[in-house]
Structure 1
Amino acid sequence: MGEKLLTAKEAAEILKVRKNTVYDMIKRGDLKASKLGKQLRIRQEDLDFYIQYGSQYGSQASTMLNEGKTQTNGIDKDEFEKNILNISNGSTDMAGRNKTTQKGMANQIIICGQDMVLDLLANRLNQCIGENVFRSYKGSYNALYAMYQGEVNVATAHLWHGKTNSYNIPYISSMLPGTDLVVLHLLKRKQGFYVQKGNPKNIQSFEDLKRSDITIVNREPGSGVRVLIDEKLRQAGIPTQEVNGYQDIVSSHLEAAAAVNRGDADVAVGSEKHSLSVPGIDFLFIQEESYDMVIRKEDFLKKPYQKMIEIIRSSEYQKEVAGLGGYNVENMGKIIYSDLIQ
């Protein structure tokens, strides 16, 4: 009997993510895929392995691309780049692969951020204005930096500022100096600890992370979760060198949850939504975070951006996002900061 092969859509349904997110996972080398004719197929055992162990095994594809080798998971390199890296405008990390000049960005919109709701937005906007909407998957801090460097048009962030107990605005103001901006609220998400089922180590707060019997798995610098961890440790007066596992990095909520599930770590920090995709772990609520969108003032009144805002504020889009679970869409699209009125 032959092995079970899944389409990207079938894999997305199992992972409870958008199909374009699966394409991006393949592009990064996190998930293995094979080319059968003109179609991509994912082995069930490779998907099961990803769910259990995250993407630790998946760096081979990325390495091969970087080294210029001709084959990636059995896919010709040129075909891989054509069919995966550019599978749809909604999933292409233009800013990550090629630095985009301001002139080159004149006729396109690059939306930067890691949440899948941005994939939904990019797809809807592409349907309305054509084939000029792209996605970049940088984390919050790096998204704002990329915007300042002129690499992306729209940035998103969920950066907690410990001194003011607020989200995003303090970072936006300092990281985009001399730039007139409009900031829209997108949604709120619950952040918390991922712990093993039953919480056997009785982890309750960040104070517990300095215990010698506790090992964490961390997120990459620039991500909203990493900023939250660092701010909480700073507030608690805990030096990072006293936290076991602080230097062990994964690049997604799902990988962090998988690491806890398989016992590589006792605890990680991530969103409630992603914890629901991994059996064998519990979620302990820390706080609700604000996920917001940043647009340059000069772009805000342009028709493509107004169309994007119209989509964000539409009941259809908000229902689609709310239907994913784990998102509070109250006040989605509300302007929370603006340089439009001086």
Structure 2
Amino acid sequence: MRHLQLSPAWFFTDGSGSQLDPKLFALLRALHRDGKLTDAARDCGLSYRHAWNLLQQWGDFFQTPLVEKRRGRGTLLSPLGHKLLWAEQRVAARLEPQLESLSLEINGEIEQLLEGAKPALRLHASHGYAVALLPRFCRDLQLDLQYCSPHDALAALERNACDVAGFHLPLGVGDDVARKILRKLRPRSHRVIQFITRRQGLMVQAGNPSEIRQLADLAGRGLRFINREPTSGTRALLNVLLQEAQVRSRDIAGFEQEEFTHSAIAAYIAAGMADAGFGVEAAARQFGLDFIPLAQEHYLMACHRKSLGHPGIHGLLSLLRGDDFHAAVEDLPGYSARYCGKVMTVDELQKHIYTPDQAL
């Protein structure tokens, strides 16, 4: 299948406009993981000589080495090598939602021209690891996926600007958050599609050097925090947990610093720019961070009752109920797809949502 994938390109200029070879970032990632240039070069499909020349070329460009060879310790990234690696990770994590949405839009247009029309579905949802899996499994469905906050997604559903809206509700905490969301759903005209459950908590640097165990440990210690944007569901959950723990946000250094995805939060911490952040376990594990679970939440989808028989919704439900998609979700740390694809009424959702340990 022909598929367009967008990714950022890096340009460093010294007057002649040189472009960084994308293989350099793959090599830096492998070196950070393996600590040996021989292994890193092999993992990247490069010869040892080519890998070494690439590192020397860009070390000469910056007039600073990207790696340091140490007797008995292999090849380690230099401070500049670390900075480049984590800068690339942060940029990719921050731009991921926009690039995914744009690539899906363009791919849909190309598929219509080359393969004929498929059932189309407009899904507005907040960015997350499980949502990002959906395009991979859309073999018979043209998915128009737009990333936005849960509030904006449900507002789009209300004005028929999308067919399905994603939102999340915490289990056992944050009754006010749940009530605000549920007020946007109409029992007679809306239906709820179960998607996944996921664990949220504190992401901290590997080994937890700051000895963070709970939210109260963030206050008054000068630890650097990185936050999600105010409109995100994750930020709403964090605010609830802080209130329940009687921790004031103004006592947390860096609370006003924001990133827009879970992976961007994790990349920020992994780069050494913060000591802690709040997000899903999968992001912490992806970047080699420690994770302290604090809450579990449902990620759900809403649609109009009359839309359930439409081909696009039918295609989505078939995807969500498929074994392949379930297996992919279960591979994500802290995620579960046990009831993925089950349809329920708003009243049924309201009966279950306030019971912490009860699955929907």
Q: Select 2:330's aligned residue among 313, 319, 322.
A: 322
**Equivalent pairs, count:** 272
CA contact (8 A) 1:53 1:255 kept: no
Q: Select 1:53's aligned residue among 87, 97, 102.
A: 87
Q: 1:264 to 1:59 in 2, by over 3 A?
A: closer
CA contact (8 A) 2:105 2:144 kept: no
Q: Quote the offset at 1:163 in angstroms.
A: 5.8
Q: Percent identity?
A: 22
Aligned equivalents of 2:271, 2:140: Cα separation in 1: 43
Q: After superposition, what is the alpha-carbon deviation per residue over 1:236-272, rounded to whole angstroms, capped at 9, x for unaligned?
A: 3333222211110011111111221222211101111
Q: Secondary structure at the match of 2:217?
A: helix
- The letter for the 2-side match of 1:89 is G
Q: Quote the offset at 1:323 in angstroms.
A: 3.7
Q: Does 1:109 align with 2:97?
A: no
- Return 5+ residue gaps in structure 2 as ranges: 12-19, 30-82, 110-118, 349-360
Aligned equivalents of 1:179, 1:242: Cα separation in 2: 44
Aligned equivalents of 2:180, 2:93: Cα separation in 1: 32
Q: Does 1:160 align with 2:170?
A: yes
Q: Normalising by structure 2, what TM-score? A: 0.63
Q: 1:256 to 1:310 in 2, by over 3 A?
A: same
Q: After superposition, what is the alpha-carbon deviation per residue over 1:85-124, rounded to whole angstroms, capped at 9, x for unaligned?
A: 744239xxxxxxxxxxxxxxxx842112212433443454
Q: Select 2:245's aligned residue among 236, 242, 247.
A: 236
Aligned equivalents of 1:214, 1:314: Cα separation in 2: 44
Q: Superposed, which structure 2 residues align to 1:1-342 within 5 Å?
A: 23=6, 26=7, 31-32=8-9, 43-45=22-24, 52-53=86-87, 84=103, 86-89=105-108, 108-113=120-125, 114-125=127-138, 127-129=139-141, 132-160=142-170, 170-176=179-185, 180-279=189-288, 281-338=289-346
Q: After superposition, what is the alpha-carbon deviation per residue over 1:12-65, rounded to whole angstroms, capped at 9, x for unaligned?
A: xxxxxxx98x63xx3xxxx3369xxxxxx9713456568613666689999xx9
CA RMSD of aligned residues (A): 3.8
- The letter for the 2-side match of 1:32 is A
Which is greater in Rg?
2
- Return 5+ residue gaps in structure 1 as ranges: 1-18, 35-40, 66-79, 91-106
Q: After superposition, what is the alpha-carbon deviation per residue over 1:113-139, rounded to whole angstroms, capped at 9, x for unaligned?
A: 2124334434544x324xx42010113
- The letter for the 1-side match of 2:240 is E
Q: After superposition, what is the alpha-carbon deviation per residue over 1:193-234, rounded to whole angstroms, capped at 9, x for unaligned?
A: 111122122211122222232221000122221111111122
CA contact (8 A) 1:146 1:152 kept: yes
Q: Secondary structure at the match of 2:286?
A: coil
- The letter for the 2-side match of 1:335 is V
Aligned to 2:57: none
Q: Normalising by structure 1, what TM-score? A: 0.66
Q: After superposition, what is the alpha-carbon deviation per residue over 1:59-86, rounded to whole angstroms, capped at 9, x for unaligned?
A: 9999xx9xxxxxxxxxxxxxx9xx8574
Q: 1:56 to 1:315 in 2, by over 3 A?
A: closer
- The letter for the 2-side match of 1:320 is A
Aligned equivalents of 2:173, 2:293: Cα separation in 1: 21
- The letter for the 1-side match of 2:278 is V
CA contact (8 A) 1:185 1:293 kept: yes
